[in-house]
Each structure stands twice: as structure tokens, then as C-alpha cells.
Amino acid sequence: MEKEKSADDVYQMLSESGYADRAIEYFQSKKNIGIIEDADQVTDLTGPCGDTMKISLKIDGDRINDARIQVLGCPGAVASGCALVSLAKGKTLQEAGNIDLDGLYRELEKMPDQKVHCARLAIKTLQKTLEQYQGRQTYRAASGQK
């Protein structure tokens, strides 16, 4: 049976294919991976490549108190998703919705060019999550629910 790849081997592979240390760190630490059990909003999105991300948010007023992500996808998707929810934590809904590709890349530092769509998928998933949450809030306000 083939020996399981060590973290060092994986680091080497990702580094050689164009990931910055910071992006690899997000991928390997799996920071913010998971789901918030009592989340205020949970939304998923599948990209054209077939990879899926699911974001859960804990929101207080208009501020994101906690954010987690589950990713069925490539290392670029995992690194992007982990970095994005890390950036979103503590931000207002509007600030989080304004995180763009440049902002996410500043956090990741560098990924291979062909992985830009993975970062885009993370941003689209967060935007869809925020839109659905705000849509529900608007509906509640209109129907008099708390």
C-alpha cells in the first residue's frame, strides 16, 4: 500500500505548482472549516467545475460574529474558502459583501493562475449567502416577523 503523503510532500507539491506559503497554510490548517450548528444562514453553491462550497454565518445585528465553510473541492477552493471566511469574520454584512478578488488574493498572496475561478467561487458563495440572509430579513420585516 502506498504511504500516505506527508504534509511536507503536499507543501512541496503545492509550492511548486504556484501556491504562496500563506495559501498553503490556509489549505493545510483547514482554518474555519466546518459548520456552525446554530447558524443564522447556511448557503451552498456549486461552481461550473462541479466543486461545492457551503458557508454558515452567525450574525448579530449587521455584523458577522462567526463564519465557517465546508468545501468539496480542490486545494485552491479550500485555501480560498478558508481565507475568505477568515476575512469576513468581524465585518459588517456590507463590508463582507464588498470583499473582492483583489482583497482575497491579498490574503492568499498567490495561487496558480488556473485557480482564479476557485477564488471567484468562494466570493460568489459568500455573496449568495449574504443575499439570502438579507432576503430573509427583508421578508421577515415585511411580514412583521421578528
Nearer to ligand FES, 76 or 129 (CB): 76
> Which residues pair with residue 60 across a beta bridge?
63
**x/- binding map, residues 14-53, to ligand FES, per CB under 6 A?**
---------------------------------x-x-x--
Query: Which residue, 36 or 116, has its beta carbon nearer to ligand FES?
Result: 116
Beta strands in 40-125 (DSSP E): 41-46, 52-60, 63-72
Sign of CA dihedral 59, 96, 141, 136: negative
121 binds ligand FES (CB under 6 A): yes
Residue 81 interacting with ligand FES (CB under 6 A): no
77 near ligand FES, rule: CB under 6 A: yes
- How far apart, in whole angstroms, are the C-alpha atoms of residue 69 and residue 29? 13
- Of residues 43, 138, 41, 37, the one with CA closest to residue 81: 43
Minimum CB separation of residue 119 from ligand FES in Å reads 9
- Applying CB under 6 A, does 74 fall inside the site for ligand FES? yes
- Say whether 60 sits in a helix, a strand or coil: strand
Judged by the rule CB under 6 A, the positions of this chain that interact with ligand FES are 47, 49, 51, 73-74, 76-77, 118, 121
